[in-house]
Amino acid sequence: MTIKVDLSKYDNTWFNPGKNITVRFTWYFVNMLFFKTLFPFSSIFKARLLNIFGAKIGKGVIIKPNVNIKYPWHLEIGDYCWIGEGVWIDNLALIKLGNNVVLSQGSYLLTGSHNYKKKSFDLVLGKIAIGDGVWLGAKSIVCPGVICKSHSVLSAGSVATTDLELYSVYQGNPAILKRKRVIA
């Protein structure tokens, strides 16, 4: 007999997103009004809002319009980072950006997935760490548990399912090492 997925068995009651329901509900509306909008609110204002909700935000951070952040209390952003239009920070677990990180348009940081080997399709979480000087190209995806080491590059449209090494350029789905990054 073949075992099949049975979503009636799915149970993520163990997962605690942090903060109470009132804070989460309030953040949902703040995110919709000030982040996931095309209106260009100032980055300083957005950084302050993120701080109020528990994020750790460095100086000189640029946050473009139409950015979606799941839970700011699971977010740390270093100094002089750029977050482009349409970026989705889906942080059920901690996402930590170093200094001088660029998240290009439409890039997606994903900390949650599911165990497809279990019939109950259990929720699986993995923290993401993005090192100093990393560039995630437009429409790239970083999967749960991945570490993008210092000055690595994930090319546009690529998917990082494993760690990216220092000063290296990755491309494809899944992303593979293409060459070393040489900065002049």
Spatial distance between the Cα atoms of 168 and 177, rounded to a whole number of angstroms: 7
Predicted pLDDT at 71: 98
Predicted pLDDT at 58: 98
Phi-psi sector, 143: left (phi>0), alpha (psi -120 to 50), beta: beta
CA angle 116, 104, 166 (to 5 degrees): 75
CATH code for 19-180? 2.160.10.10
Spatial distance between the Cα atoms of 130 and 149, rounded to a whole number of angstroms: 6
Predicted pLDDT at 1: 75
Which helix (H) or strand (E) covers residue 142, if one does?
Answer: strand 141-142
Predicted pLDDT at 99: 99
135 close to 119: Cβ distance less than 8 angstroms: no
133 close to 97: Cβ distance less than 8 angstroms: no
Low-confidence ranges of the chain (pLDDT < 50): none
